[in-house]
Structure 1
């Protein structure tokens, strides 16, 4: 169907790709359109197949996931890349997110969480596993540094008190559902708040919001 999410699998291990294909092909509305075993082939497959979402491994021989992510997000801006890694904090994961990936999950993420993440990034959201958000911020620290200055106050002044609460919870890795439960709001209201936070702070997605929350000193490692 035309509404199906078209997925490209990129991993140097054939067994991993096979497992993901079995999982995703069994889900309605998701179609695996191709596979690639390194970054160079992923770039070619993206040009040829025009996938909506790419599940991208980081550590691969030849052209790795970071370089492929950087190239694909520049050349094919409609393609959404979801980085998958075996490790709680891959040393290159932060660089992949900065390269334009829309999300970062562990390979041992539960099947339902992976499917939900694919649908979320396809819809234009971004996904960072709550289990590794704190580690992501910790990894970001040497790259960014907390900016406490006049521009910080100016940025925060753009946000309402509620929007600041939402940004803090995003920075802590909370999903919209979790934020709604914590703040006693509907998910649609939370989604609207998230959208306003991204717009006011000129952020592209939830991943950048996590990083920005750290930069503004709202969340600490």
Structure 2
């Protein structure tokens, strides 16, 4: 039996999801919470396998909650259920430790499949977001084909480009981590990836690269 906790600050959403899951013989909803703090309090006395959680919540949002779960309850798997479909949010939640990401426009079958998939130790990304990311990768590939001699900005991921801009603005690693709601180690990884991709060796060269690519003025 897969034990599920529903986390959303709207009770009507939790009621709807509970209703969708009630006929699944291998799933049982063992609790509900309106935000991350309530979830952590609930898990102190309630065992769960999967948390189905919104991102935008009061008190403690989904991003911070997922980070806290990784620290205190690493065996609890997180599936994000959100209206936010931008790749930045998907990346942030996956970096925080979420195993699945599903849009609230998804049907019952997809939500159930996502829960079962992450409970089995695998990852799940809803097809709609996956196709969007695939289209962007295809566009990036086409851009590279038309610029075989240069280093187009597309060499860097969106998050790497954001980090490069903030480096160029003079922010420290800690300041960048705070600005992007991620860890210092993640920013250091992005910085190393930027250096490897751009083949520049210091901050001054990074700033020059950002200017020549039109990322900053």
> Conserved in 2, the CA contact under 8 Å of 1:103 and 1:127?
yes
> Conserved in 2, the CA contact under 8 Å of 1:84 and 1:105?
yes
Aligned-partner Cα distance in 2 for 1:136–1:9: 27
> Conserved in 2, the CA contact under 8 Å of 1:52 and 1:79?
yes
Residue 5 of structure 1: aligned partner: 2
Shift of 1:90: 7.1
Residue 59 of structure 1: aligned partner: 56
Residue 21 of structure 2: aligned partner: 24
Higher relative contact order (CA 8 A, sep 6+): 1
Shift of 1:49: 1.0
- TM-score, normalised on structure 1? 0.60
The answer on 1:78 being equivalent to 2:75 is yes
Residue 157 of structure 2: aligned partner: 141
RMSD across aligned positions (CA)? 2.5
Aligned-partner Cα distance in 2 for 1:42–1:100: 16
CA deviations on 1:79-100 (whole Å, 9 max, x unpaired) are 0000011133275332111100
Residue 66 of structure 2: aligned partner: 69
The answer on 1:48 being equivalent to 2:64 is no
Residue 132 of structure 1: aligned partner: 129
Q: State how 1:152-163 maps to structure 2 within 5 Å.
A: none
The answer on 1:39 being equivalent to 2:36 is yes
Residue 219 of structure 1: aligned partner: none
Residue 108 of structure 1: aligned partner: 105
> Conserved in 2, the CA contact under 8 Å of 1:55 and 1:84?
yes
Q: Which has the larger radius of gyration?
A: 2
Residue 171 of structure 1: aligned partner: none
Q: How many residues align?
A: 144
Unpaired segments ≥5 residues, structure 1? 146-215, 217-221
